[in-house]
Structure formats: C-alpha cells, structure tokens
Amino acid sequence: MDADQPQRELAYQRLRRKIQDQEILPGTMLSQLVLADQLGVGRTPMREAMQRLEYDGMLVALPQRGWMVRTMSPRDIEETYVIRTRLETLAARRAATLGSPEQVAELRGLVEAQGEAFAAGQSIDKQRSLDRAFHRKIWELADSPRLEQMLSQLVDTAILDPLQQRVITQPGTLRASVAAHDDICQAIESGDADEAERRLAAHSADYWESAIRLLSERTQ
C-alpha cells in the first residue's frame, strides 16, 4: 500500500469539508505548506489532495501562485443548474421504478423530518442538511453508481454557488421545498416515473427562478 495514502485521504476529506462548510470561502488563495501544517500532513499528500480537489472542480490551479477556491460565475451557475436538472430528473424516473419499499420508506422519513424541522423553526443549516439528504436518497434509489457519482460531484461544486444561501433564506423557500419534496416522494411511492420526473423538474425550476431574480438584483 502507498505509505502516503492515509494522509492523502485525510487531507482531502478535511479540506473538502472546510470548503463545503464555507470555513474557507470561494476566491480564497491556499498555501500548500500552510495547509499541510494546519492539517498535520506531509507536503506531498497535501499537494495530491489539492490536485484531487482541482479535478473535483472545487479548486483552481494558478501557475506560480498555487491554488484558489473556485468562484462561480453566472454562466457556471446556469450550467450547473441545467446539467443537474437533467441528471436528477433521470434519477427521479429511475427511483420511481427501481427503489425498494425500504428505500422509499426512508425517503418518506426524510420528508417528514424536514417538515418537522421547518415547523419547529430549526436552524437553516439543519434544514439544508435534510434537504441534501432527500436529494441524495433519490440518487441512491436510482440504482446507478455512475449517475450518483456525477450528481455528487456537481453538488459538491455547487456549494461554491454564492446564491445558494440567499435563495434558501428567501421568504417561503423552505416551506415550498418541504411541499415539493412531499410531491416528489408521492410520485415515487406510486411508481409513477413520468410524474416523478415532472415534479422534480418543477422543483428545480423554482430554485432557478429565484436564482435568476437574485442574479438580476446583483448586476443592477
């Protein structure tokens, strides 16, 4: 076994989590040496972890300068939305016909947990976590490791979207998300692939409509 593998994986997971949790913000320049010291790993495993995150689309390599946490332009945001919608509606179709009763019950449980979190006024972070878990469960039900991997990579990159936090905190967004997830879950429970696809597409369109509105405000 490669002696650096445990350190490389440790560095990758820790840095990835810091970016996902926005402890390190888009546009931040990163020093391989400083990060290696902070994370307690060697320089070579740190460099390899950063190269892997570059491949994932979370970092950008800058010649003679190192790495920077990727920023997303309006075009990047739009492309991510379009591609994710195409892939995730396919996942919803497959989930409606391939998900086991146990998996579909787990999906329903996530919808109920999200509704309870909203009703109790729990933190935005908690509700976002349940939102992500719902979508990832649909990918799991689709029974396609390659599709799940592609969606996971897209969502990991989309965490850099500066509009995500603003969209989810817009009045009515969380309530609408709970209702949309309930609708999608009902279609999957009934085994209706066409309806599952339609309802997930509508849910994505609602997000994009809000994002477009915020983009317009930002550029005015």
All structural domains of the chain? 5-69 (1.10.10.10), 74-219 (1.20.120.530)
Is the pLDDT reported for residue 95 higher than 90? yes
Average confidence (pLDDT) over 133-156: 94
- Listed range (138-142, 173-177, 216-220) with the worst mean pLDDT: 216-220
Instruction: Name the β-bridge partners of 62.
Output: 66
pLDDT at 154 (0 to 100): 85
Say what the pTM is: 0.78
Here the tokens at position 120 are 């109790």
Round to whole Å and give the CA distance between 216 and 151. 27
Is the pLDDT reported for residue 32 higher than 50? yes
Average confidence (pLDDT) over 134-155: 94
Is the pLDDT reported for residue 1 higher than 60? no
Which residues neighbour 29 within 8 Å (Cβ) at sequence distance 6 or greater?
62, 65, 66, 67, 68
Count of H-run helices and E-run strands, the chain:
10, 3
pLDDT at 76 (0 to 100): 83
| Pairing verdict, β 59-62 and 29-30 | unpaired
Classified as helix, coil or strand, 62 is strand
φ, ψ of residue 190 to 5 degrees: the values are -85, -5
Classified as helix, coil or strand, 60 is strand
By residue count, the chain amounts to 220
Q: What is the mean pLDDT of the chain?
A: 88
Round to whole Å and give the CA distance between 108 and 62. 45
DSSP character string of 101-119 = HHHHHHHHHHHHHHHHHHH
Round to whole Å and give the CA distance between 2 and 21. 29
